[in-house]
Amino acid sequence: MIERYTLPEIGVVWTEEAKFRSWLEVELAVCRARARLGEIPMDEVEELAEKAGFSVERIEEIERETNHDVIAFVSNVAETVDSPVARHFHFGLTSSDVVDTAGALRLRDALDLILDEARGLARLLVEMSLEHRETVMVGRTHGVHAEPTVLGHKLAVWAFEMERNLDRLDHAREVAAVGKISGAVGVYGNVDPKVESIACGELGIAAAQASTQVVQRDRHAEVLSTLAIVGSTVEKIALEIRGSQRTEIRELAEPFGRGQKGSSAMPHKRNPILCERLCGMARLMRGYAQVGFEDNALWQERDISHSSAERVVLPDATIAALYMLRTVCRVLRGLDVDRERMLENLNLGGGIVFSGRVLLALVEAGMSRDDAYGIVQGAAMRAWDGEDGFRDLLAEDEEVRERLGPDLEGLFDPVYAVRNTGVVFERVEELKGRLERD
C-alpha cells in the first residue's frame, strides 16, 4: 500500500523487519515445544533463543543467491548464533510451517487494529443517530423524493450494519489466527503433532485441524471478503454524504478545512474529496476479496501461486480497511448538517412528499383507492409542473375538501409522519448498551 494511505500503527505490522521477527518467534516456539517434549535439551534452546538474531539486509543478500527467502532467513540466523545449538533451528519444518504460522500472527494483529477502529465507528454512529433523532428531512427512493424521514434513522441503519461488521470481524480474526507445524505435506512426517499444539498454544493461536503444506486459503478468503464488506459499508456512508453535498441538495457536507482548495480553476468549489476517495478504495477491497477466492484452489498439497498475490493483498487490504474506517470517522465527526436546507427540500412542490398520507386519508374517508390515487397523483403531477403547490391544489379540489375538510392540513405535519421511528431509537439505545459492554 502506498504511504498516503498507510497509518503508522498498521504499517509497522507489515514491514520486512516485522515479518522476520514473527518468523523467529515461530521457530523459537517450535524449539521450546520440542524441549518440553524432551527431544532436545532446554538449556541449548535457551542459548539459541539468546543468540538468535537476523539482519534484513543480510537476508536479502543471501536470498539474491539462494532465491529462497526462508532458506536465506535460516542461514542468517545460523550465522548470528554461530554455535552447535543452531542445528535445532528449523529442524523438521517446511517453509510454510513458519511462513503461514507467522502470517497468522501478523494478520491477527492487523485485525485487532481494524476491530478497534470499527468499534469506534459503531459507537460514533450510535451517538449521532440519537443526536439526530428529530432532524427531519426528505427520504428518497431511486434518488427521487419519497416520504419524510429523520437523519437519525439513516445513521441507525449504518450503526446496526456496523454491529454486524463487528461480528464478521470477530469471526474473521478467529478464522485467521490459525497456524500449522505439520511438515511438507501436512502429515507430521518429521515433527511430532504435539509440537504443533504446544507451539501454537504458546503463540496464542489455534492449530489447524488438518493441513497440507499450507494453512488452507478459505480462511484468508473469508478475511478478505469480510474486509470487502466493511469497505462496502464505508462506501455506503460516503456515497450518501457526497450525494447530499451536491449543489442542488446541500443537506450534508464533509468537513472543509481552513485553507483547503476545491479546484485549481474554480474557486467556488467545495468537493467531497474524502468521500469520493473512500468510494474508490472500496473498489480495491472488492478486488482483494476476488484474489482471496482465486488463492484457495492450489495444486495437490500445495503450490505457490497464492504466495505472490498474498504478499500484496493481505497487507494492502488490512491497511486500506484501517484507513477507510479512520477517515469515515473523521468525516462524520466534522459532518456539516444543514437542517434549514433539509426543510426546504422537504417542502419542495408544496408538500408533495405527503401524497401517501393524503391517499390513505381519502381511502379512510370512503373513497375507492383507484379514485383517490387518481386525484392525488393528478395534483402531484401538476405541482411538479409548477402549476401550484401540492397542498394548495388539493385544497382547491371539491371532492378532497368534502372528504377531508380541515383535517387536510394536519396531513402535512412532518413530525407526525415520523412519529413511529421511536421504536428504532429504542433499539439504538440497546445497541449503545451492547457496545459499551464490549
Residue-wise pLDDT for 129-139, tens only, equals: 999 999 999 99
Q: What CATH number does the domain located at 1-91 have?
A: 1.10.275.10
pLDDT in tens, 162-217: 999 999 999 999 999 999 999 999 999 999 999 999 999 999 999 999 999 999 99
Check residue 418 and give its pLDDT. Answer: 86
Q: Give the least confident one: 11-25, 226-240, 252-266, 366-380.
A: 252-266
CA dihedral 91, 93, 95, 100 (to 10 degrees): -130
Instruction: Find all residues with CB under 8 Å of 261, minimum gap 6, and list them.
Output: 267
Task: Show the DSSP H helices in 132-150 as ranges.
Answer: none
pLDDT value at 161 more than 80: yes
Q: What cell was used for 411?
A: 396531513
What residues are annotated to the active site? 142, 263
Check residue 438 and give its pLDDT. Answer: 82
CATH 1.10.40.30: which residues of the chain? 352-411
Check residue 270 and give its pLDDT. Answer: 80
pLDDT value at 301 more than 90: no
What is the SS3 string spanning 359-408?
HHHHHHCCCCHHHHHHHHHHHHHHHHCCCCCHHHHHHHCHHHHHHHCCHH
Check residue 258 and give its pLDDT. Answer: 64
Residue 183 · residue 91 · CB < 8 Å:
no
pLDDT in tens, 99-131: 999 999 999 999 999 999 999 999 999 999 999
Please name the amino acid found at residue 75: S
Task: Name beta bridge partners: 179.
Answer: 207
Average pLDDT over residues 270-285: 95
Residue 266: band (very low, low, confident or very high) from pLDDT cuts 50, 70, 90: low
pLDDT in tens, 398-413: 999 989 998 999 999 9
The CATH superfamily holding the domain 94-193+206-339 is: Fumarase/aspartase (Central domain) (1.20.200.10)
Percentage of the chain exceeding pLDDT 90: 89
Distance CA 309, CA 295 (A): 8
Report the candidate in 203, 198, 206, 199 with the shortest Cα–Cα distance to residue 174.
Answer: 206
Q: What CATH number does the domain located at 352-411 have?
A: 1.10.40.30
> pTM for the full model?
0.93
Let me know if 299 is exposed, middle or buried by CB neighbors in 10 A (0-12, 13-18, 19+).
exposed
Check residue 267 and give its pLDDT. Answer: 63
SS3 92: coil
* CA 271-277-281 angle, 5° bins: 165
Check residue 257 and give its pLDDT. Answer: 65
Check residue 259 and give its pLDDT. Answer: 60
SS3 216: coil
Instruction: Find all residues with CB under 8 Å of 79, minimum gap 6, and list them.
Output: 58
CATH 1.10.275.10: which residues of the chain? 1-91
